[in-house]
């Protein structure tokens, strides 16, 4: 068994892969997601100075992993014993190439506290840009706005027509503006569309810098259907959502563990 872990700021994603001769034939046997705080409280065990993940408690195979590869926000802070660490850009690119079969594309990954845009050529990283200075246009912003609107992320992500113009993309101050629009009588559907439009405005400069005929959505972006529609209209490109958008980093780590 091989393990891939994406230690995100909001959630931890783990995949296990059966022991096989090649990554091309790999079989993902288990995929699990945990709230990050819950994961560190409940599934980390210490043996002397070593920090270990209790995979059996998580519900994985009784076999000890042959290799573990991790990435993500907490990959270095966790210090998990026996774990190889790789950069997020590398993990997400490998995962997206595997999931799509594409060799040339732009990958857009919306994480809990950052946004990554990666230009992939011939299956390799050619260039990338990250926004990690604040939570604007990230998963945290979407979660905050959905909470204010009283909807879940999937419902928020359905709306893109007739958006209300929102000036603030700050994960904190945006709440006040949204509440002000609600008290002014704006429809929830238009406000949801407005939130999605603010995301689009923040990421368009990054996407224009790394243009491709295909754009692949990973992370939280894979849950925002409206974003796919709006991107296709503005980029005139094919926009594809991964089958497992939020597990993409963990899958990439699993591939490196097998190889």
**Sorting pLDDT into bands at 50, 70 and 90, what band is 156?**
very high
34 located within any domain: yes
212 located within any domain: no
- pLDDT for the residue numbered 162: 95
124 located within any domain: no
Average pLDDT over residues 171-198: 89
Q: How many residues does the chain have?
A: 259
Average pLDDT over residues 193-214: 93
23 located within any domain: yes
Range of the domain at 64: 2-92+248-258
This prediction's pTM? 0.89
Average pLDDT over residues 195-218: 93
- pLDDT for the residue numbered 138: 78
- pLDDT for the residue numbered 235: 92
**Sorting pLDDT into bands at 50, 70 and 90, what band is 14?**
very high
- Identify the CATH number of the domain in which residue 15 sits: 3.30.420.40
129 located within any domain: no
183 located within any domain: no
175 located within any domain: no
pLDDT per residue over 57-84, tens digit each?
A: 887 766 677 888 999 876 655 556 678 9
- Residue 142 backbone dihedrals phi, psi, to 5 degrees: -60, -40
* Lowest-pLDDT choice from 67-81, 94-108, 206-220: 67-81
Average pLDDT over residues 97-101: 95
3-state secondary structure of 68: strand
147 located within any domain: no
- pLDDT for the residue numbered 217: 95
- What the block records as the tokens of 177 is 């503006």
Long-range CB pairs of 162-168 (<8 Å, 24+ gap) are: 162/189, 162/190, 162/193, 163/190, 163/193, 163/194, 163/196, 163/197, 164/190, 164/191, 164/193, 164/194, 165/194, 165/197, 166/194, 166/195, 166/197, 166/198
Neighbours of 22 (CB within 10 A): 8
Inter-residue contact 221 to 190 (CB < 8 Å): no
Q: What integer best gives the mean pLDDT of the chain?
A: 87
pLDDT per residue over 15-65, tens digit each?
A: 988 866 555 566 888 899 999 889 888 888 777 666 677 777 887 766 677
Question: How many domains, in total, are found in the chain?
Answer: 1
């Amino acid at each position: 068994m091989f393990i891939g872990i994406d230690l995100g700021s909001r959630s931890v994603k783990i995949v296990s892969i059966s022991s096989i001769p090649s990554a091309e034939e790999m079989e993902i046997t288990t995929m699990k997601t945990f709230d990050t705080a819950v994961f560190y409280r409940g599934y980390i065990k210490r043996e002397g100075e070593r920090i270990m993940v209790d995979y059996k408690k998580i519900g994985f195979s009784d076999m000890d992993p042959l290799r573990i590869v991790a990435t993500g926000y907490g990959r270095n802070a966790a210090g998990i014993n026996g774990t190889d660490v790789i950069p997020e850009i590398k993990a997400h690119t490998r995962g997206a190439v595997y999931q799509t079969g594409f060799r040339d594309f732009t990958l857009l990954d919306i994480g809990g506290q950052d946004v990554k845009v990666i230009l992939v050529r011939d299956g390799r990283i050619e260039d990338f840009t990250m926004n990690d200075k604040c939570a604007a246009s990230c998963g945290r912003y979407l979660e905050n706005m959905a909470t204010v609107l009283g909807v879940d992320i999937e419902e928020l992500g359905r709306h893109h027509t007739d958006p209300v113009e929102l000036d603030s993309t700050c994960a904190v101050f945006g709440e006040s503006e949204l509440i002000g629009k609600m008290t002014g009588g704006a429809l929830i559907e238009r406000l949801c569309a407005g939130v999605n439009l603010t995301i689009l405005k923040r990421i368009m400069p990054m996407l224009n810098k790394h243009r491709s005929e295909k754009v692949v959505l990973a992370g939280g972006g894979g849950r925002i259907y409206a974003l796919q529609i709006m991107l296709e209209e503005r980029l005139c490109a094919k926009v594809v959502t991964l089958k497992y958008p939020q597990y993409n980093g963990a899958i990439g780590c699993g591939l490196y563990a097998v190889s």
